[in-house]
Amino acid sequence: MISTNDFKTGLTIEYEGNIFSIIEFQHVKPGKGAAFVRTRLRNLRTGAVIDKTFNAGINVNQAQIDKSQMQYLYANGDTHVFMNNETFEQIEIHQSMIENELLYLTEGMTINIIVYESEILGLELPDKVVLEVVETPGGARGNTASNATKEALTNTGLRLLVPLFIETGEKIIVSTSTGKYDTRAK
C-alpha cells in the first residue's frame, strides 16, 4: 500500500481492478476543506488516460511492474516473437497489443517487455530508433526554403516528414515518443 501523499510521476498503482501509471499529479490544499490529490493516470492495459482526484492521505495498492529485456525476432502471422536475452525463452505477443510500437520495431532490436504478475502489458521502446527510408520523392531542385519537408515511408511502414535532402535508402533516427524525424543516422 502507498499513500496518495507519496505519489510520484511514473509510479504504478492498482485502482478499480486496473493498473495505472501516474503521468502527473498535484497536491491541492484549499483554504477551506480537506486536501486532495489531482492526478492524470494512464491505463497500462488499454492506454486510455483519465483524470482522477483522490483524498489526501488515503492508501492505494502499488502495482509491481517488471521489465524484462528481450530481442525482437520475427513476425509469425498476427503474432510477434520475442526472445529473452538471458534465458533464451521465447514469447509471442499478438499484433493488436503492440500496433503502434510495430512502427518502430526492426528485427534484432532489443526492447523491454512490461509484465504485471504473469500478464504482458506491452513494450517499452528506446527514445530513438534507426529506420531506413524505403520510399520518398526526390527533393525539388532550387528549393532552399528553411524547414522544407517531404513525406517518407520507412522499412517498418511508418510515414513521416523528413527534410528535402533525405533520399531513398538512407538511415534516419526517429523519436518513438513523437514519431518525428530527428537526424540522419551515421
| CATH 2.30.30.30 segments of the chain | 2-62
Model pLDDT, residue 83 = 95
Place of cell 499478438: 94
In which residue ranges of the chain is pLDDT below 50? none
Architecture category of domain 2-62 in CATH: Roll (2.30)
CA distance 63 to 43: 12
pLDDT digits (tens, 9 = 90+) for 128-174: 999 999 999 876 565 666 678 899 999 999 999 999 888 999 999 99
Domain 65-124 carries which CATH code? 2.40.50.140
Q: Is this model's pTM higher than 0.85 or not? A: no
Three-class HEC string of 150-183: EEEEECCCCEEEEECCCCCCCEEEEECCCCCEEE
Distance of CA 125 to the CA centre of its chain: 6
| CATH 2.40.50.140 segments of the chain | 65-124, 128-184
Q: What Cα–Cα distance (Å) separates residue 62 from each residue in 4, 58, 66? A: 11, 13, 13
Q: Which CATH superfamily is domain 128-184 in?
A: Nucleic acid-binding proteins (2.40.50.140)
